[in-house]
Amino acid sequence: MVGTNVNILFQNALKIIEEELSSLSFSTWFDEVKLIELKDGIATFQVPMAIHKKQLSNNYYDIIKEALNQVTGTNFDLEFLLEDEINVNKEQTSTQVSIQEEEVGVPSTFLEKSNLNSNYTFDNFVVGNSNKFAQAAALSVAENPGKMYNPLFLYGNSGLGKTHLMHAIGNYITNNSNRKVLYVTSDQFINDFININKKDERGTNYNYVDFFKNKYRNIDVLIIDDIQFLGGATQTQQEFFHTFNTLYDDSKQIIISSDRSPDDLKLLEERLRTRFCWGLTVNIFPPDFSLRTEILRKKILAGNFEQDIPEDVIEYIASNIGSDVRQLEGSITRLVAYSTIMGGASITLDLAIDALKDFINKGVSEKNDIARIQKIVAEFFQINVEDIRSKKRSANIAFPRQVAMYLCRVATSESFPKIGTEFGGKDHSTVMHSVEKIENEMKVNQDLANIIDKLKKDIG
Ligand code: ADP
Ligand code: MG
């Protein structure tokens, strides 16, 4: 298989590879690499210089192979060729990777690129009920950095678009002003901080201190992703506290993301959590069915695939793949890869069912299972699934628990006693009571009826 699709598959594999490497290594070794062909179990790459052959086959072979496998579901052997060799060897079946030391040149790109990902913009962020508040808040911050909401704290489960929105803010600001934006994950912050404390023989490593101060203080916008990983590193928290204060006092915009709310960042110092709530805290929720289909449609358009993907296939994916947008994207890639590997077979519902059976089967075996419903309901209300299964009686847990019990009753064939045991050992009359209560409430409360409807769709 050759052409656009190969390129699309490789772009997806590159995203996976990029996550594994430092940005310097990634841009050095992968910027100018092209995937030329996937054929007879061999993936052929064109590389710019001989040194790339050596690096890629010695140090990155497994990473590339694994990434291609994740995207295509197929194991390929890898072959790296220079442009000349591709033209000369076109007819030859296989070429050994052999490099003479003296061929080895120096790669051109040793400069670190901007750490913002230009693919993540507001334009390609699809907005629906579950994320419209987050998107609006992000856009206001992008338009008025340091003025509207400081800090902006975005939280929600993995795969719901937090990182996307943060890069979108950064890209918007750099495209519309001269402000300096720094995007880091809390891991990178911790690493930089650890480097400061590496002492040389004389005591402190002043270069690193300067580097750190310059990197984190000499900016206008700090975007820090996945702050939950800062928990536990006490000294780093103190340093982050100082960084935060310095920037904040200077009216520099700070944007933070996390997989949970500031209150639930138990490992973080109180004074940090308090500061995180000074600005605006926004929760981003899992996409409902209609947003899932919308996202799929947009991704398909943006993907420019050779084949059409019909509406029934989109609905099939949207109703079977839950809430993680990353998985929605993965399913399209898998589908296109499958069709292409099958010689360009047109994408029908049957083909989709076949192509996605690994993806979706997992879902089916759990389908209508109590644990799955508990997870979906907990996700929706942003509480811990353990709490739903516990005896805790606080209202913020009791109500979602009643909703979950109701859904278990209508969406599974489980008995009242069985449902009771799965919800903190309640007896069957409590379950019956909860189910009745939700049924009655739905009749008079349209909002609740809508929520239940949406959850039912999510359950499938
Ligand atoms: P998180 O940081 O919350 O784990 P990401 O921002 O990494 O999630 O999103 C995962 C993937 O899903 C990314 O490729 C992102 O572009 C995509 N995505 C998430 N939400 C949306 C959306 N509303 N519209 C378009 N793409 C989205
Ligand atoms: Mg993220």
Instruction: Express each pLDDT in 351-362 by its tens digit.
Output: 999 999 877 755
Quick one: 389 and 414 in the same domain? yes
Question: Directed axis angle between helix 395-411 and helix 428-444, to 10°?
Answer: 90
Q: Is residue 186 part of a domain?
A: yes
- Ligand located closest to 183 CA: 2
Quick one: 267 and 314 in the same domain? no
Identify the pLDDT of residue 146. Answer: 93
Identify the pLDDT of residue 125. Answer: 96
- Ligand located closest to 227 CA: 2
Q: Where are the beta strands (DSSP E) in 68-190?
A: 77-82, 152-155, 181-185
**What does the buried/exposed string (b/e) look like for 350-388 if buried means 16 or more CB atoms within 10 Å of the residue's CB?**
ebbeebbeebbeebeeebebbebbbbbbbbbbbbebebb
**What does the buried/exposed string (b/e) look like for 242-267 if buried means 16 or more CB atoms within 10 Å of the residue's CB?**
ebbeebbeeebbbbbbbbbbbeebee
For residue 110, what pLDDT band results from cuts at 50, 70 and 90? Answer: very low
Over 90: is that where the pLDDT of 159 sits?
yes
Rounded mean pLDDT, 163-185 = 96
**Cα–ligand 1 centroid distance for 76 (angstroms):** 28
Quick one: 182 and 263 in the same domain? yes
Q: What residues flank ion ligand 2 with Cβ within 5 A?
A: 162-163
Q: Is residue 95 part of a domain?
A: no
What number does the ligand 1 atom closest to the CA of 284 have? 3
CA distances 238 to 222, 231, 241, Å, are 17, 11, 5
Q: What is the CATH number of the domain that holds 402?
A: 1.10.1750.10
Alpha-carbon distance 131 to 323, whole Å? 12
Domain count, the chain: 4
| Ligand 1 site, residue 48, Cβ cutoff 6 A | no
Over 70: is that where the pLDDT of 13 sits?
yes
Q: Is residue 97 part of a domain?
A: no
Rounded mean pLDDT, 332-359 = 89
Task: Select, from the ranges 16-20, 248-252, 308-312, the one with the highest average predicted confidence (pLDDT).
Answer: 248-252
Identify the pLDDT of residue 7. Answer: 82
pLDDT > 90: percent of the chain = 50
Closest C-alpha to ligand 1, atom 16: 164
Q: What is the CATH number of the domain that holds 236?
A: 3.40.50.300
- Ligand located closest to 11 CA: 1
Rounded mean pLDDT, 208-217 = 85
If one compares 199 and 266, the residue with the highest pLDDT of the two is 266
What number does the ligand 1 atom closest to the CA of 287 have? 23
Quick one: 256 and 320 in the same domain? no
**Cα–ligand 1 centroid distance for 120 (angstroms):** 9
What number does the ligand 1 atom closest to the CA of 165 have? 6
If one compares 390 and 94, the residue with the highest pLDDT of the two is 390
Alpha-carbon distance 27 to 1, whole Å? 26
| Ligand 1 site, residue 279, Cβ cutoff 6 A | no
| Ligand 1 site, residue 420, Cβ cutoff 6 A | no
Alpha-carbon distance 50 to 162, whole Å? 39
Model-wide pTM > 0.85: no
Q: Is residue 93 part of a domain?
A: no
Domain hosting 322: range is 289-363
Alpha-carbon distance 375 to 354, whole Å? 27
Identify the pLDDT of residue 173. Answer: 96
Rounded mean pLDDT, 45-69 = 88
Phi-psi region of 424 (alpha: psi -120 to 50; beta: other; left: phi over 0): left
Residue that terminates a domain, selected from 321, 348, 363? 363
| Ligand 1 site, residue 325, Cβ cutoff 6 A | yes
Q: Is residue 100 part of a domain?
A: no
Task: Select, from the ranges 83-92, 191-200, 333-342, the one with the highest average predicted confidence (pLDDT).
Answer: 333-342
**Cα–ligand 1 centroid distance for 6 (angstroms):** 23
Over 80: is that where the pLDDT of 213 sits?
yes
Over 70: is that where the pLDDT of 122 sits?
yes
Quick one: 298 and 189 in the same domain? no
**Cα–ligand 1 centroid distance for 56 (angstroms):** 29
Identify the pLDDT of residue 177. Answer: 94
Rounded mean pLDDT, 399-404 = 94
| Ligand 1 site, residue 158, Cβ cutoff 6 A | yes
**Cα–ligand 1 centroid distance for 23 (angstroms):** 20
Quick one: 262 and 116 in the same domain? yes
**Cα–ligand 1 centroid distance for 319 (angstroms):** 18
| Ligand 1 site, residue 183, Cβ cutoff 6 A | no
Enter the tokens of residue 5. Answer: 């699709």
Q: Tell me the per-residue pLDDT of 241-294, one tens digit each, with 9 for 90 and over.
A: 999 999 999 999 999 999 999 999 988 999 999 999 999 999 999 999 999 999
Q: Tell me the per-residue pLDDT of 406-422, one tens digit each, with 9 for 90 and over.
A: 999 888 777 787 788 78
| Ligand 1 site, residue 125, Cβ cutoff 6 A | yes
Quick one: 253 and 161 in the same domain? yes
Over 90: is that where the pLDDT of 28 sits?
no
Residue that terminates a domain, selected from 326, 346, 363? 363
Quick one: 151 and 232 in the same domain? yes
Over 70: is that where the pLDDT of 66 sits?
yes
Enter the tokens of residue 418. Answer: 């069985």
Residue that terminates a domain, selected from 283, 307, 332? 283
Contacts of 109 (CB under 8 A, 6+ apart): 27, 28, 31
Identify the pLDDT of residue 174. Answer: 95
Q: Is residue 51 part of a domain?
A: yes
Q: Is residue 38 part of a domain?
A: yes
Q: Is residue 212 part of a domain?
A: yes
Closest C-alpha to ligand 1, atom 9: 161
Closest C-alpha to ligand 1, atom 6: 161
Q: What is the CATH number of the domain that holds 336?
A: 1.10.8.60
User: What integer best gives the mean pLDDT of the chain?
Assistant: 85
Q: Strands across the sheet with 42-47, in order? A: 34-39, 42-47, 77-82
CA 172 to chain centre: 20
Alpha-carbon distance 27 to 109, whole Å? 7
| Ligand 1 site, residue 159, Cβ cutoff 6 A | yes
| Ligand 1 site, residue 185, Cβ cutoff 6 A | no
**Cα–ligand 2 centroid distance for 284 (angstroms):** 12
pLDDT > 70: percent of the chain = 90
Identify the pLDDT of residue 459. Answer: 84
| Ligand 1 site, residue 288, Cβ cutoff 6 A | no
Quick one: 327 and 380 in the same domain? no
Over 90: is that where the pLDDT of 163 sits?
yes
Quick one: 396 and 449 in the same domain? yes
Identify the pLDDT of residue 65. Answer: 92
